[in-house]
Chain A
Amino acid sequence: KAGVTQTPRYLIKTRGQQVTLSCSPISGHRSVSWYQQTPGQGLQFLFEYFSETQRNKGNFPGRFSGRQFSNSRSEMNVSTLELGDSALYLCASSLEAFGTEAFFGQGTRLTVV
């Protein structure tokens, strides 16, 4: 069974630009969550989508947004990039049932210059 797939693996963008990251969850998983990892803040929850609806949201500015498609694939978008947005962005998918784990993709390394 294929794992969580994130594309692209690496990205370099300029301040002020926008970026879109993609995540394909494990087949059958309808919940997709996004996390940001930075050296200073660690792993922080961005948002979670289930059945094309955002169910949970972390404490990030409105420049960070996402969506989920009917096949459960998800995208996250960051507009007006800042240097501080440089991070490893991780996507995780899980089943809806309590007591199941979240499986993570390899992540997208975003560098803003």
Chain B
Amino acid sequence: DQQVKQNSPSLSVQEGRISILNCDYTNSMFDYFLWYKKYPAEGPTFLISISSIKDKNEDGRFTVFLNKSAKHLSLHIVPSQPGDSAVYFCAASEGGAQKLVFGQGTRLTINP
């Protein structure tokens, strides 16, 4: 039973445009959500997080939106840059970052 799902295995976006990565979850007990960026053979790098008491969080070019009623979150990257090309994972947890449930990842490719 996959509690966190990223239904798009890949996404291709032109440089300078907006990248939107989506994530759905099924466990209503999740109250903390994170996005990580990952390159092959490296550990995930934290990007941005949001708790369930908020519906939006921004950090520079990255914005995460949370729709609790739909159990859906999305990551917006504006403007997209070539260095953003990587695999993006969303993760969810109950009560903190100690036990994360990850989605399967979305490979983002930014085209010049």
Q: Interface residues, chain A, CB within 8 Å of chain B? A: 4, 6, 31, 33, 35, 42-45, 48, 50, 55-56, 58, 88, 90, 92, 94, 96-107, 109
| Nearest 10 Cβ contacts at the A-B interface | A104-B43, A102-B97, A43-B102, A101-B46, A94-B97, A56-B99, A42-B104, A104-B44, A48-B98, A98-B96
Q: Is the interface of B mostly helix, strand, loop or mixed?
A: loop
Q: Is the interface of A mostly helix, strand, loop or mixed?
A: strand
Task: Tell whether A42 pairs with B98 under 8 Å between CB atoms, given A88-B41, A101-B49.
Answer: no
- In the complex the two chains form, is A33's CB within 8 Å of B98's CB? yes
A-B pairs under 8 A by CB, number: 73
CA of A21 to CA of B99, assembled, Å: 19
Near A by CB (< 8 A), chain B positions 72-112 give 89, 91, 95-105
- In the complex the two chains form, is A102's CB within 8 Å of B46's CB? yes
Interface size on B, residues (CB 8 A): 24
User: For A35, what are the chain B residues with a Cβ–Cβ distance below 8 Å?
Assistant: 100, 102
CA of A33 to CA of B44, assembled, Å: 13
CA of A55 to CA of B36, assembled, Å: 24
User: For A90, what are the chain B residues with a Cβ–Cβ distance below 8 Å?
Assistant: 43-44
Task: Give the one of B89, B97, B100 with max A CB within 10 A.
Answer: B97
- In the complex the two chains form, is B102's CB within 8 Å of A42's CB? yes
Q: How far does the Cβ of A86 sit from chain B's closest Cβ, in whole Å?
A: 13
B40 and chain A: residue at smallest CB distance = A88
Q: How far does the Cβ of B43 sit from chain A's closest Cβ, in whole Å?
A: 3
- In the complex the two chains form, is B105's CB within 8 Å of A99's CB? no
CA of A91 to CA of B103, assembled, Å: 17
Residues 8-21 of chain B: 1 if any A CB is under 8 Å from the residue's CB, otherwise 0? 00000000000000
